[in-house]
Amino acid sequence: MSHTIRIALAALVLSAGAVLAQPQPGSPSGQNPTTRAVNEEQLLREFERLDGRVTIPDSKAATLEQPQGREWRTFREGWLPWIAGIAILGMLLALVIFYFTKGRVRLDHSEESGTKILRFNTFERFTHWLTASSFIVLGLTGLNYIFGKRILMPLIGPDAFSALSQWGKYAHNYLAWPFMLGILFMMVVWLRDNIPNRVDAAWLKAGGGFLGDAHPSAGRFNAGQKIVFWIVMLGGIAMSVTGIILMFPISAVDVNGIQLNQAIHAIIGVLFVAAILAHIYIGSLGMEGAYDAMGSGEVDLAWARRHHDLWVEEQQAKTASGPQLGGSRPIPAE
């Protein structure tokens, strides 16, 4: 990571405009321009990067030399595969261990009420799956930039791998937009229910029910879900901003900026993938019945009472005709 920091520092220094060499005091007349010639070594000591003037209207061409390219290369080829590998494999390992030690969180079928309550409406589910599906492609194609040539290319050969990566690049660039849209929608529909409150502290203290047998109280979203929401929000925004900058290279930031930007995009990206792996685990394999909420959108009232008691109370209070929550008429989430 120290390299990333160095890049960051370099970018800061450079963006301060210190790159164009120092002004000469007074008139240049009377001087010997030959003996005063600039010297690469000295310039690089002073400025880290060499910028000058070019006549073509391409600002990046005016950078003569940016040795930081070598540092970014060390980050990308030296550090990033390890960071990514540890984050993702580590998460998978943790989940596997959790699965085998704790097992699947079962739903007690005897307690099933038979009555369904609508937990996520169609638009919410659309939003979730829009974001989720594009995220999966983005994650895989993103990881391909790091691991493809190390794992896939030896298996399928350079031509097939290049073709795949080319499509992967298009997919990554184009699916970024539905992903960003999904993030935006999520913010609109779920932000209010994800604002942390006192209930969350109790929920966390109780370990979310995973540690003991009792189910702590929770609103529409419990603290664990809120954490996932905020990971997705903040991660998504970070990925969006850095991603857009990468899509329009050297328009907002210079080459050192883009190096730093890429490093941020890559690191947040792999951590994001690792976090979402956990989310996928709990939403599917890790907890019985959880999937239904995003599948059909309806969950059993008993399950809902156990896991989101405060939310169910709220819904019932809102509904004049009492417990007819499972009726054909969908009840808005709010």
Partner 1 sequence: MLTKRKSGDAGRAKLQGLAAGLASGTLDRRSFLRRSGLAAGGLAALGSLQLGAVRKAEAAGSSVSGPSVQIKTNICTHCSVGCTVKAEVVNGVWVGQEPGWESPINRGSHCAKGAAIRELVHSERRLKYPLKLVNGVWTKIGWDVAINEIGDKMMELRQQSGADSVYWLGSAKFTNEASYLMRKFGAFWGTNSIDHQARICHSTTVAGVANTWGYGAQTNSYNDIRNAKTMLFIGSNAAEAHPVAMQHLLASKELNRGNMIVCDPRFTRTAAHATEYVRFRSGTDIPVIWGMLWHIFQNGWEDKDFIAQRVYGMDDVRKEVAKWTPDEVERVTGVPEAQMKRIAFQFSNEKPATLIWCMGATQHTVGTANVRAFCILCLATGNVGKPGTGANIFRGHTNVQGATDLGLDITTLPLYYGLVEGAWKHWARVWDVDYDWLQAQFDEVPAKAGRPARTKKQNMETPGITSTRWADATNLPEDQIDQKGRLRAMIVMGHGGNTVSRIPEMVKALEKLDLLVVADPHPTTFAAISGRKNGTYLLPICTSLEMDGSRTASNRSLQWGEQIVQPAFESKNDYEVMYMLAKKLGFADKMFKNIKVENNVPSAEDLLREINRGGWSTGYCGQSPERLKAHMKNQAKFDLVTLRAPKDDPEVGGDYYGLPWPCWGKPEIRHPGTPILYNTNLHVKDGGGCFRARFGIERNGQTLLAEDSFSLGSDLTDGYPEFTYGMLKKLGWEGDLTAEERATITRIGGANPDTVSWAIDLSGGIQRVCLEHGVMHYGNGKARANAWNLPDPVPVHREPIYTPRPDLVAKYPTRPDAREFRLPNIGFSVQKAAVDKGISKQFPIILSSGRLVEYEGGGEETRSNPWLAELQQDMFVEVNVTDAAERGIKDGSWVWVLGPENDAKTKVKALVTERVGRGVAWMPFHFSGWYQGVDQRGNYPPGTDPVVLGESVNTVTTYGFDPVTGMHETKVTLCQIRAA
Partner 2 sequence: MARMKFLCDADRCIECNACVTACKNEHEVPWGINRRRVVTLNDGKPGERSISMACMHCTDAPCAAVCPVNCFYTTADAVVLHSKDLCIGCGYCFYACPFGAPQYPRVGNFGSRGKMDKCTYCAGGPEADLSTAEYEKYGSNRLAEGKLPLCAEMCSTKSLLAGDGDVIAQIYKERVVRRGYGSGAWGWKTAYRETVAI
Residues that bind partner 1 (CB under 8 A): 23-24, 27-35, 55-57, 158
Closer to partner 1 by Cβ: residue 158 or 212? 158
Contact partner at residue 174 from partner 1, partner 2, none, CB < 5 to 8 Å by partner kind: partner 2
**Residue with tokens 């010639």, as numbered in its chain:** 37
Smallest separation, CB 243 to partner 2 (Å) = 10
Nearer to partner 2, 144 or 222 (CB): 144
Contact 3, 68 (CB under 8 A): no
Closest CB 92 distance from partner 2, rounded Å? 23
Our CB check for partner 1 shows the closer of 55 and 110 to be 55
Q: Which is nearer to partner 1, 24 or 321 (CB)?
A: 24
Q: Would you put residue 17 in left (φ > 0), alpha (ψ -120 to 50) or beta? A: left
- Minimum distance from CB of 35 to partner 1 (Å)? 8
Give the residue with the Cβ less far from partner 2, 172 or 220.
172
Contacts of residue 24, defined as CB under 8 A and 6 or more positions apart, other chains included, come to none
User: Do residues 297 and 120 make contact, with C-beta atoms less than 8 angstroms apart?
Assistant: yes
Q: Is 51 helix (H, G, I), strand (E, B) or coil?
A: strand
Contact partner at residue 101 from partner 2, partner 1, none, CB < 5 to 8 Å by partner kind: none
314 is in the binding site of which of partner 1, partner 2, none (Cβ under 5 to 8 A by kind)? none
Which token pair is 170? 């298009």
- Indicate which of partner 2, partner 1, none lies near residue 67 (CB less than 5 to 8 Å, by partner kind): partner 2
Q: Least distance from C-beta 19 to partner 2, angstroms?
A: 10
Minimal distance, residue 174 CB to partner 2, in Å:
7
Q: Using CB distances below 5 to 8 A depending on partner kind, what does residue 40 bind out of partner 1, partner 2, none?
A: partner 2
Instruction: Classify the C-alpha dihedral 202-205-207-211 as positive or negative.
Output: negative
For the chain, the first-to-last Cα distance in angstroms comes to 44
Contacted entry of partner 2, partner 1, none for residue 173, CB cut-off 5 to 8 Å set by kind:
partner 2
**Which residues form the interface with partner 2 (CB under 8 A)?**
21, 23-24, 28, 31-41, 43, 50-54, 56, 58, 60-70, 72-73, 76-77, 144-146, 148-149, 153, 158-159, 161-162, 165-166, 168-170, 172-174, 246-249, 255, 258-259, 262
CA distances in angstroms from 271 to 71, 131, 152, 202, listed in the order given: 22, 17, 22, 27
Of residues 33 and 322, the one with the C-beta less far from partner 1: 33
* Shortest reach from residue 89's CB to partner 2, in Å: 20
Cα torsion for 43, 49, 51, 57, to the nearest 10°? 170
Tokens of 148: 């493809």
Q: Could you tell me the two tokens for 292? A: 């239904």
Q: Minimum distance between the CB of residue 64 and partner 2, rounded to whole angstroms?
A: 4
Residue among 57 and 103 whose Cβ is closer to partner 1:
57
DSSP sequence for 253-306: S-HHHHHHHHHHHHHHHHHHHHHHHHHHHIIIIIBTTHHHHHHTSEEEHHHHHH
The least CB distance from residue 143 to partner 2, in Å, is 11
Bridge partner residues of 287 (DSSP): 105
155-186 exposure pattern, b = at least 16 Cβ within 10 A, e = fewer: eeeeeebeebbeebeebbeebbebbbebbebb
Decide which of partner 2, partner 1, none touches 318; Cβ closer than 5 to 8 Å per partner kind.
none
